[in-house]
Amino acid sequence: MEQVLIEAALERTGGNQVAATKLLGMNRATLRRKLKREGP
């Protein structure tokens, strides 16, 4: 579920991680860790 929200936020922001983190209410390091954990 969380991965779906992350993907939606990244799609909405055109891949901009900083903007996506603002939408999701988390910091960029947390987002990057979650993306790395899920893999490509």
Whether the per-residue pLDDT at 6 is higher than 90: the answer is: yes
Whether the per-residue pLDDT at 40 is higher than 70: the answer is: no
Q: Write down the pLDDT at residue 10.
A: 97
Give the whole-angstrom CA distance, residue 36 versus residue 30: 10
Whether the per-residue pLDDT at 39 is higher than 90: the answer is: no
Structure tokens at 23: 């939408």
Q: Write down the pLDDT at residue 38.
A: 77
Residues 3-23 as b/e (b if ≥16 CB within 10 A, e otherwise) read eeebeebbeeeeeeeeebbee
Q: What tens digit of pLDDT does each residue of 8-38 get?
A: 999 999 999 999 999 999 999 999 999 998 7
Second-level CATH architecture of 2-38: Orthogonal Bundle (1.10)
